[in-house]
Amino acid sequence: MSQRMRRLGIALAIIACGVALRLGGYEIGLPYFLVKYGGSTLWGGMVFFLFATLLPRQPLGRLAILSVVAATLIEFTRLYHTPWLDEFRLTLAGALLLGRIFSWWNIVAYAVGIVIAGLLENRHLARVSRLPG
């Protein structure tokens, strides 16, 4: 499997986990903090792996910086309101992609997710580079 496809698969798996957490987290008794910020942490990891898919030759540090900047900019779009944008935010897709209200804590959670994703990708790449052949 190519590196690009593996990274895209990880991003898609993270999306599935985030949707499952948001839609079923409370129903299975998970605490608010875990559902709210776990989803944001997963979202940050997804942003990292999407950038890694699109820019496979970039160093991990650069991917992390791009991811934090993009996630932060998207969070700041929550401060901008128009009727059509607010209507979109009320849909499931809008809530998952853009969110509804601005929070500095979301930016922290995104950064945590991006750091975790970057560290896991670094660990994977180090293991692969040690394999024979």
pLDDT of residue 2: 92
Task: Say if CB 108 and CB 71 are below 8 A apart.
Answer: no
In the chain (133 residues long), the average pLDDT of successive 10-residue segments reads: 94 95 93 94 98 97 98 93 92 82 95 99 94 77
61 φ, ψ (degrees, to nearest 5): -60, -40
Contacts of 95 (CB under 8 A, 6+ apart): 89
22, 40 in Cβ contact below 8 A?
no
Q: Tell me, what's the pLDDT at 5? A: 97
Phi and psi torsions of 69, nearest 5°: -60, -50
Other beta carbons within 10 Å of 130: 7
pLDDT for 99 equals 81
